[in-house]
């Protein structure tokens, strides 16, 4: 699934989305990621209740390297319940990084506001 991502980038982000009724389950998923994947992740962000960048729903994000991509995607997919997850490479070009050819979705796709990217 992720082996074909068309990038040589080594750093990745995963954005886990939630709505106002899913804050508790998002918090639980975030806590599980911190506890279980601590050695595989570079950063776990806070629950972002506001919108930022291209993201049209509240979310939290994690940063990790390519070598952990398969394990992290598997853990998140197994534990995400109904949360949608966007995984993308980080190259420094936000438009390219969030383009359909470079992203992978776990769960339903969430509309992105690409006009908010540089």
The overall average pLDDT reported for the chain is 91
- Distance CA(70)–CA(87), nearest Å, equals 11
**pTM of this prediction?**
0.90
What is the three-class DSSP state of 86? Answer: strand
CA 107 to chain centre: 12
In terms of CATH, what superfamily is 11-116? Answer: DOPA-like domains (3.30.70.1240)
Residues 33-60 have pLDDT tens digits of 999 999 999 999 999 999 988 999 999 9
What is the three-class DSSP state of 71? Answer: helix
Q: Which pLDDT score is estimated for 68?
A: 95
Residues 47-100 have pLDDT tens digits of 999 998 899 999 999 999 999 999 999 999 999 999 999 999 999 899 999 988
């Amino acid at each position: 699934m992720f082996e074909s991502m068309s990038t040589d980038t080594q750093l990745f982000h995963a954005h886990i989305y939630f709505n106002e009724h899913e804050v508790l389950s998002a918090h639980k998923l975030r806590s599980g990621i911190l506890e279980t994947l601590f050695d595989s992740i570079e950063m776990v962000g806070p629950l972002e209740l506001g919108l930022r960048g291209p993201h049209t729903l509240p979310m939290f994000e994690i940063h990790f390297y390519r070598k952990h991509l398969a394990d992290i995607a598997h853990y998140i997919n197994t534990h995400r319940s109904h949360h949608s997850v966007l995984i993308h490479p980080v190259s420094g070009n936000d438009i390219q990084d969030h383009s359909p050819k470079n992203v992978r979705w776990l769960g339903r796709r969430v509309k992105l506001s690409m006009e908010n990217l540089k």
